[in-house]
């Protein structure tokens, strides 16, 4: 009988150890569940932040594209205006030069040989002979 009582006592002791183990396991499971909930909430918050940041990025990219298009239009407008001003400047310089040449008798005398003599502007061919003896 003592062996039965000893067996019962050993089993009761093991049962107490198992119950303590089960309690610790339950506490660990509860802590893991709490951590899981906290991590889930953190992930949701971070996902929301990322989503908002993507929306902000999209808005910024749209504004950058609009700004680039406006700058291209402004650049084309400025280039056109500068081209027109440059044409007017060269027309004015040409007109001033023509007036100076027409009204200045010395300039007429200087330019007359260049204008009247077409042969002076033509280059004559040069024939070179090569001496073959060295």
Token code pair at residue 78: 């400025």
> Exposed, middle or buried by CB within 10 Å (0-12, 13-18, 19+), for 58?
exposed
Express each pLDDT in 74-103 by its tens digit: 999 999 999 999 999 999 999 988 888 888
Given this model, what pLDDT does residue 44 score?
A: 93
- Band (pLDDT 50/70/90 cuts) for residue 66 is very high
With a CB cutoff of 8 Å and minimum separation 6, the contacts of 121 are: 114
Q: pTM here?
A: 0.47
- Band (pLDDT 50/70/90 cuts) for residue 64 is very high
- Give residue limits of the domains in the chain: 2-112
Determine what percent of the chain is predicted with pLDDT higher than 90.
59
- Which residue is associated with the tokens 């929301």? 48
Number of Cβ within 10 Å of residue 107's Cβ equals 13
Express each pLDDT in 3-17 by its tens digit: 888 888 888 898 999
Phi, psi (rounded to 5 degrees) for 133: -90, 140
If you ran DSSP here, which 8-state letter would residue 129 be given?
-
């Amino acid at each position: 009988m003592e062996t039965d009582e000893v067996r019962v006592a050993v089993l009761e002791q093991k049962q107490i150890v198992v119950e303590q183990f089960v309690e610790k396991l339950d506490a660990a499971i509860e802590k893991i569940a709490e951590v899981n909930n906290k991590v889930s909430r953190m992930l949701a918050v971070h996902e929301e932040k990322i989503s908002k940041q993507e929306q902000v990025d999209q808005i910024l990219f749209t504004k950058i594209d609009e700004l680039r298009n406006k700058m291209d239009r402004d650049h084309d407008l400025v280039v056109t205006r500068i081209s027109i001003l440059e044409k007017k400047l060269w027309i004015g310089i040409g007109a001033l030069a023509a007036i100076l040449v027409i009204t200045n008798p010395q300039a007429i005398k200087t330019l007359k040989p260049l204008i009247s003599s077409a042969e002076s502007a033509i280059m004559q061919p040069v024939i070179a002979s090569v001496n073959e003896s060295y």
